Amino acid sequence: MLNKLLTLVLVREPSRVLLGLKKKGFGEGKWNGFGGKVEPGETILEGAKRELLEESGVVSNSLEEIGLLKFEFVGDPQILEVHVFTSNTFEGEIKESDGSTRIFLHFAEMRPQWFYTDKIPLHQMWADDKYWFPMFLKGSKFKGYFLFEGHEKIVKYQLDEVEKL
Ligand code: 6OG
């Protein structure tokens, strides 16, 4: 079976990272970068850019691919292949939660918020993030494989810092 291609984008400033709280669907209730399925006919990079815009409201023309993560769930033959990108610039306005956007955000899939790099809400994120987030924060590239049992427990994993993907 072919891997399912997904993207994950982490917009960052020197001391902060933009995350979104997923309000419905896969990973509901978790903070994560922005991303989703790559559509037929688009490249992985185009998919990353599109999902970032749809979910956060910003455009990035400087996405850099920094990670490749493969996820398997016990009992499910489908492998999720998540291409992780970062960007330290963006254009447009983040759909952040303030009074004027509250009604709109009620219907949005993600609620964006900046987090200081020493206050990343790892306990409210996918369990793999605590392994690779430190690599991302220090500017390293990484490749990993994680076997999940259910959505919270990792039963096996391998993770390496790499020079290039
Ligand atoms: P949609 O199904 O909503 O895209 N994603 C994961 N991210 C992390 N950090 N860990 C995981 O461990 C993940 N599995 C999937 C990829 C799902 C979004 O969630 C990411 C996509 O950005 C299992 O279209």
Predicted pLDDT at 2: 84
Helix, strand, coil percent content, the chain, rounded in steps of 5? 20, 40, 35
ipTM, interface predicted TM-score of the complex: 0.98
Answer yes or no: is the C-beta of 82 below 6 A from any ligand 1 atom.
yes
Predicted pLDDT at 24: 85
Q: Which residue has the higher pLDDT, 39 or 103?
A: 39
pLDDT one-digit tens code per residue, 50-95:
999 999 999 999 999 999 999 999 999 999 999 999 999 999 989 8
Q: Rounded CA gap, 25 and 96, in Å?
A: 20
Predicted pLDDT at 97: 57
Per-residue confidence band for 110, with pLDDT thresholds at 50, 70 and 90: confident
Kindly tell me if the per-residue pLDDT of 99 is higher than 70. Answer: no
Could you tell me the pTM of the whole model? 0.94
Distance 20 CA to ligand 1 centre (A): 12
Answer yes or no: is the C-beta of 142 below 6 A from any ligand 1 atom.
no
Answer yes or no: is the C-beta of 66 below 6 A from any ligand 1 atom.
no
- In the chain, the N- to C-terminal Cα span, in Å, equals 22
139: tokens are 């500017």
Q: What percent of the chain has a predicted confidence (pLDDT) above 70? A: 93
Distance 156 CA to ligand 1 centre (A): 18
What is each CA distance from 139 to 2, 48, 94, 135, in whole angstroms? Answer: 30, 19, 23, 6
Q: Rounded CA gap, 84 and 163, in Å?
A: 15
Q: Which atom of ligand 1 is nearest to the CA of 7?
A: 22
Q: Which atom of ligand 1 is nearest to the CA of 35?
A: 22
Answer yes or no: is the C-beta of 41 below 6 A from any ligand 1 atom.
no
